[in-house]
Structure 1
């Protein structure tokens, strides 16, 4: 079972009789000219909602966001049906425009939908654009938009001020995708002459290491050397799903494995996106948090790595960008050294209170020996900043973490820190280990550890589909 993010399936059906004929024409699918959104999360752009591909979707990065789709011509809209996927409840409004978004008429006001089908009747009227507006408590996800119509009409006008009312295509926008935004610090850095962001498009100073694979890669293993890794994903492939049995993919399957939500190529095909959700499947009954995380292996990639924590020279180098966090308890672990029991070293991100999850400024810390020693790496890390992390282990169990922010230029080193209380052997981990959880997971089961430890209580009560995401462009063991 491949659990997808909570999605919104959207259908508009329009019925009319052909004038002067005794027969009724079959509805025809109306073509969209474009789609734009006031907020976009990572690679889940607005165009995904109109590409006629149910494996892609638009996702808002913030609550209260809207998406606008313009028709190829003026159509007479009569009624609409919204198909929701998953268990999340959305509150939303629907607006129509007959002047390409210069003015809007609300036809469905502040209603709600949760799963299955949600039908709405509207007054028969001409329109050449539609907008879905999420309530301030709803962060919308739309998988596909479809409009059917029996005939075109002449009741629309074309306005040169399209989309002015919703702030789309605004040069001062701080939305996470940074499209047409000269000052954006977003993760894709499109149209930004000074950006160092992860895909390096239109960016002469990009630090992306794998651009040579752009356009050719099909699987994450085509971009990253995963021959010595396995991946743990926050989904259960058991039947029925088991909340405490996260999925593991090892070699040789990992060579050609991808997952459209949790482990996939970025749009530029020069990096790999790893995503974990608060209510995802976990690795055991004793674990509160889900993960989308790489674990070091050895040999042919089927045997778990287990090197001496005190008598080895070993290292891991990462080039990556943190793209998103949860808005409540915005914390994530993005690199680790683990032994049989202990967290010997963790690089962790901590976001601010009242986080938006996509453009926050927080801090990165290296934490040693089960959080007993903390070293600050970056006190002004902004989500979307590309970084390098180099972790070196030397004889005696001495560890040094060296960090660089490729946008701001901040560099730091922890110096030498000795690992203590070691049990068994060591191994590296990389990816995204979300540090927030939901009491009820996406399978409808109670996360006992989360509930007992009160990890999501009060302001930390978390949507099971709330997520953290990282883009990894290079991972090297030495």
Structure 2
């Protein structure tokens, strides 16, 4: 055996392995910051997509939005993983920049993704910024974005430190296409969904919904279940309600001067006999642990609301936003009815007051536009009559139902406020079949296929008298 040759062969093999190993870097996760978006719905801000918390997400207020973030340093981008919110399919493109957003290169073009771990491979290239661009028909909602790098590089420049020419919003000013940000109203007078209360003040120190609203005589029912094998909605009463919030369904708005209540088509329900979910306040009495029960025919009582309907479901866009209920009947409901082929965010529909299980109907507003702030005053007299007074704070429309007699009363009465949707999905968010929904005699376009399809209301004031 030629010893020199054997040693030389071994040395070459070791060096080759070392060289090969040196050329393949282990991917690392890129550190991201300075996240912005051209469209933000409510408190679902751009930073939520990179906060490493899957209980939060960024959500655009309209289709065609873009989301942008910068890297802490120039990186050799290898691939990226998008975790999408809900079960919708999203159509999007990905662009990278190596000059902090002055110019962009499309690396993923017009692709679709849904759910978790939507991975896209990218040709190894330097970048210090990324942009996710939604299709004109796709309203993006990102739980988390993760970008893998093969290491830092010197292939970037520091030019273009300002936002790019599409005038992206940082979540505190309006975008160039007139869409509203999460903390200011758009130029056409539409509500952004987090508009200031009537006195224009912000409750900047508020931490919980009960810091903004007097909830001492209320409990909240939410469309989530503590047991995934059950359809039973969650209830929060006093004293827990004083310091309770839910990041998705019951939370402060961005200005901290209102409370957002959200119900979803596939949410948990109050009983097995109902198809619909709610995020709704129910009147209580005493220390807030006992259900209110007043005599519907011998009590002077009232409820006043300042609120804004922010969103509706797109299929069967109907929602109840104020109620008087007895032990069995819907004695009074203020309901929103959206148009056919609703988009859920800018529709013009109508508001009606309905009495005595829908036997009497009174039109409140024939041109209610989602995002319009309103006041609703419900007055019950000791003679068993009720009157609903309404005002649209944007359009100036005012109306009153006049006196309506409550009939067919069973038991005692109580008020309800919030949002109770009239749309459902056959499968709930826990993967269970909603048999009541499935058995409804509805046309195909009346069911929501996405269990996370939602309606949402912003409540700025609620008082009882």
Q: Contact between 1:99 and 1:162, CA under 8 Å: does it hold in 2?
A: no
Closer/same/farther in 2, CA of residues 177 and 462 from structure 1, 3 Å limit: farther
Cross-structure match for 1:306: 293
Paired residue for 2:282? 295
1:41 aligns with 2:41: yes
Q: Secondary structure at the match of 2:419?
A: strand
What is the aligned partner in structure 1 of residue 230 from structure 2?
242
Q: Which residue of 1 aligns with 2:309?
A: 322
Look up the match of 1:68: 68
Cα distance in 1 between the residues matched to 2:274 and 2:107: 46
- Larger Rg: 1 or 2? 2
- Residue aligning to 2:403: 416
CA contact (8 A) 2:315 2:445 kept: no
* Equivalent residue number for residue 222 of structure 1: 211
| Kept in 2: contact 1:273–1:471 (CA 8 A) | yes
Which residue is 2:420 aligned to? 433
* Conserved? CA contact 1:79–1:121, under 8 Å: yes
Q: Contact 2:311/2:456 (CA < 8 Å) preserved in 1?
A: yes
In structure 2, what is the equivalent of residue 199 of structure 1? 196
Residue-by-residue CA offset, 1:320-339 (whole Å, 9 max, x unaligned): 11111112222111100011
Aligned to 1:5: none
Q: Could you tell me how far 1:251 is from its partner in structure 2? A: 1.4
Quickly say closer, same or farther: Cα 1:115–1:144, change in 2 above 3 A: closer
Contact kept in structure 2, 1:42 and 1:324, CA below 8 Å? no
| Secondary structure at the counterpart of residue 296 of structure 1 | strand
Q: Structure 1 residue 415: deviation in Å?
A: 0.8
Mapping of residues 87-236 of structure 1, within 5 Å: 87-101=87-101, 103-135=103-135, 138-147=138-147, 149=149, 150-156=151-157, 158-159=159-160, 162-164=163-165, 170-175=175-180, 177=182, 181-188=186-193, 198-199=195-196, 206-207=198-199, 211=201, 214-236=203-225
Q: Does residue 1:471 correspond to 2:432, yes or no?
A: no
Q: Is the 8 A contact 1:438 1:456 kept in 2?
A: no
The C-alpha deviation readout for 1:402-459, integer Å capped at 9, x for no partner, is 1112222221111111111111111100001011111111111221222211346235
Q: Are residues 137 and 453 of structure 1, via their aligned partners in 2, closer, same or farther at CA, if it must alter by over 3 Å?
A: farther
- Secondary structure at the aligned position of 1:119 is classed as strand
Structure 2 counterpart SS, 1:226: coil
How has the CA–CA distance of structure 1 residues 459 and 126 changed in structure 2, closer, same or farther, with 3 Å as cutoff?
Answer: farther
3-state SS of the aligned residue for 2:79? strand
1:358 and 1:175, CA in 2 relative to 1: closer, same or farther beyond 3 A? farther
* 2:335 maps to 1:348: yes
Partner of 1:7 in structure 2? none
1:76 and 1:126 in contact (8 A); partners too: yes
Distance 1:183 1:152, change over 3 A: farther
Deviation at residue 229 of structure 1 after TM alignment = 0.9
For structure 2, the 5+ residue unaligned runs are 1-17
Give the Å deviation of 1:340. 1.2
Deviations 1:181-230 (A, max 9, x none): 43351325xxxxxxxx7325xxxxx445xx46x12222111211111111
Q: TM-score, normalised by structure 1?
A: 0.83
Q: How much does 1:307 deviate?
A: 0.8
Larger deviation, residues 358-367 vs 432-441: 358-367
* 252-261 or 50-59, which deviates more: 50-59
**Residues of 1 paired with 2:46 and 2:87: CA distance?**
22
- For the aligned residue pairs, the C-alpha RMSD in angstroms reads 3.0
Tell me the equivalent position of 2:241: 254
Q: Secondary structure at the match of 1:255?
A: helix
3-state SS in 1 of match to 2:437: helix
Q: How many positions carry a matched residue from both structures? A: 441
**Superposition map of 1:358-377 within 5 A:** 358-377=345-364
Relative distance call for 1:95 and 1:476 in structure 2 (3 A) is same
Write out per-residue CA displacement over residues 263-307 of structure 1, whole angstroms, 9 at most, x where no aligned residue: 111122211111000110011111111000001111221111111
**Compared with structure 1, are the counterparts of its residues 28 and 249 closer, same or farther at alpha carbon in structure 2 (3 Å cutoff)?**
closer
Structure 1's 412 and 221: CA in aligned 2 closer, same or farther, altered over 3 A? same
